[in-house]
Amino acid sequence: MWQPEPGWQPLPGAGPATAGVWSATSGGREVVVKRLRRPDPHDAPGALIPGDVNYWRRAADVALSGVVATSPGLREAAVVRVEEDDEGVTLVHERVEHHVAPGLWLASCLGRFAATDLGDHAWLARDQLRSRLALVAHRGGWLTLARTPMADIADHLWSHRTRWLDTCDALPQVAQHGDPSAANIPGRCPDADGAVAIDWAHLGRGPVGADLGYLSLATREDVEPLVEAYVAALPAGIAGTDDVRTGARVMAVYTALTRLDWALARVADGEGALAGKFRHPSVAPYIRAMQRQVDQIEALLA
């Protein structure tokens, strides 16, 4: 049975396919070790489908392919080694020195990265937002939001989700990191004007601006200045400002409301009225994230 080596220090960052993340030293270098667990019969079927957003070994395939080792705007931390066995895969990357980056600079990095040619790898993620909303639909939709004062708004957006997903499918499709939170873009490239990103488990193609909308949920800047920075860095001929704004808006709104519904559902069955739990520490950050999207929500309602 695979076990972490003595002396490895646990780090946060476990996901559905991740058995653990550790900091360690290898050959005199500071590294980060991530262990990917091979799915078992109880896991979601998508974990075994290469193009599914939840494909379990995509991060390993990205590291082995080198497809984002030198990509513009955003690149992978240097790969030290990839080791595979019957139980899973162990990824070892150089540890990235963290720095606090302005949201506008990160938006510019994503704009340059969007032009990356990722090739035709079967394991590239596709239909990320559509797949995530399909999982929500399987659970019945935004059931907890239906019990809040924004029930009518949530119902309208949920019932029109296919229209907006189809609109995004018609936008230019570009390279996307898939999970570009500020925490996943911790470093600067030492030899280029760009950022070093971690956690490439959702790398694929998607609507132009979608990565930007995801990023906007974790930055101080509003969507509009982020769109301007992204478009300014996007190579000519790929997409216009309206396309980027639409892709960002749809991703930001539907992700923010899905996260809020999830957070509310976790506390909904506890003692007391649901309205009294809006300030709960595990809910309040998602309320604030939704409130920051009011202008984008209104635009989708128009």
Q: What is the pLDDT of residue 24?
A: 95
DSSP-based three-state secondary structure for 290: helix
Q: Which domains are present in the chain?
A: 9-94 (3.30.200), 103-301 (3.90.1200.10)
In sequence order, what are the residues at sequence separation of 6 or more whose Cβ sits closer than 8 angstroms to the Cβ of residue 102? 221
Q: What is the pLDDT of residue 14?
A: 63
SS (H, E, C) 118-183: CCCCCCCECCHHHHHHHHHHHCCCCCCHHHCCCHHHHHHHHHCHHHHHHHHHCCCEEEECCCCCHH
Q: What is the pLDDT of residue 15?
A: 67
Find tokens 């995530």 and name the residue.
132
Each of the 302 residues of the chain gets a pLDDT tens digit; together they read 899 999 999 998 766 678 899 999 988 899 999 999 999 877 777 899 999 999 999 999 999 999 999 999 999 999 999 999 999 999 999 999 888 889 999 999 999 999 999 999 999 999 999 999 999 999 999 999 999 999 999 999 999 999 999 999 999 999 999 999 888 999 888 767 899 999 999 999 999 999 999 999 989 998 999 999 999 999 999 999 999 999 999 999 999 999 999 999 988 887 777 877 788 898 999 999 999 999 999 999 98
Q: What is the pLDDT of residue 274?
A: 83
pTM value surpassing 0.85: yes
Tell me how far apart the alpha carbons of residues 66 and 17 are, in angstroms, rounded to a whole number. Answer: 21
User: Residue 40: beta bridge partners?
Assistant: none
Contact assessment for residue 76 and residue 62, using Cβ atoms and an 8 Å cutoff: yes
Q: What is the pLDDT of residue 271?
A: 73
DSSP β-ladder status, 74-76 and 195-197: parallel
Helix (H) or strand (E) holding 14: none
Q: What is the pLDDT of residue 192?
A: 73
